[in-house]
Amino acid sequence: MKAITYREYGGPEVLHLEEGAKPAPKDDQLLVRVRAAALNPYDMHLMRGTPYFLRLIAGLRKPKFTGIGVDFSGVVESVGNNVTGFKPGDAVFGGCHGALAEYLVIAGQGLLKKPDNISFEQAGGVNIAAKTALQALRDAGRLRPGQKVLINGASGGVGTFAVQIARHLGGEVTGVSSGRNTELVRSLGAGHVIDYTQQDYTQGGAQYDLIIDSIGNHSLSANRRVLKPNGRYVMVGGPKGKWIKPMGRATAAMIYSKFVHQEMGMMMARACQDDLALLAELMQQGKVMPVIDKTYKLSEAAEAMRHLETGRVQGKIVIQMD
């Protein structure tokens, strides 16, 4: 089978299309023929091995695991003897390391059946970004109906999901994006849209119960100015850096929280099949729909990664199997 691999840290040029053996599922696994997969900033950080502390887990001198990608959708080709709830031919989506490949083996806990009303390409971009948005709003942010939430980076991968989920949870949504993306953000359910090229949201008169920040382009003190006295600031991304960014900012946010009433911190999505099931239900109901910026072939993975690294992606970048 064909798969994208990287055997050294670096830029998109380290990504290569290689041939390998088709995997065989164990008794508790399924074999899935991948139809689409997506790229996330998570994959970019692993590819570059930055911030450097990640290499303590991923491999100091070279990556321990050579596959890349986590989000995928596809069709079940075979199931192990102990697997229940799935059968060959089922359309599925979920998360599995090494997703940029023609075939994956995965335990049943890592995937769900794909809603009929979304495409394989849309389903292939759900796993990390949508779970991050849901958990940031509902769990870390504790958003309640009627509360005001600002989403900085509203047109990105997490942001496009966050706008829709915040609206579903009853929030009054303000989305921050560039001018070319304001209509997209408004169409997703934002009641207010700020063009950051024309207005600095931290200098405005509005105050928010919750800020979801995937950009990190304003200081913590500037964000505090537009938080209500008991408001919450949740980082889901931040500035790039080779050493400690964005962890340095996350540490600063935790320290801030010890001295002020506002809660400030960073969160990363956790694996949770119940949350993936909830997202599938919301997509089936048409309340949340993935946004795709552009699709690439598997052989164009390096070009797709270069696009991701521009930071100017509307929604998700999706890789279609050749």
Q: What are the tens digits of pLDDT across the range 266-288?
A: 999 999 999 999 999 999 999 99
Give 55 or 241, the one with higher predicted confidence.
Answer: 55
- Same topology, domains 2-126+290-320 and 129-266? Answer is no
Distances (CA, A) of 257 to 125, 138, 237, 262, 273: 33, 19, 18, 6, 31
pLDDT tens-place string over residues 5-53: 999 999 999 999 999 999 999 999 999 999 999 999 999 999 999 888 7
Q: What is the pLDDT of residue 4?
A: 98
Task: Provide, rounded to the nearest whole percent, the portion of the chain with pLDDT above 70.
Answer: 95
Query: Where exactly are the structural domains of the chain?
Result: 2-126+290-320, 129-266
What percentage of residues in the chain have a pLDDT greater than 90?
Answer: 86
At 73-100, the pLDDT tens digits run: 999 999 999 999 999 999 999 999 999 9
CATH number assigned to the domain with residue range 129-266, chosen from the 4 options 3.90.79.10, 3.20.20.70, 3.30.2320.80, 3.40.50.720: 3.40.50.720
pTM here is 0.94
Looking at the structure, give the CATH architecture of the domain made up of residues 2-126+290-320. Answer: Alpha-Beta Complex (3.90)
pLDDT tens digits, one per residue of 112-158: 999 999 999 999 999 999 999 999 999 999 999 999 999 999 999 99
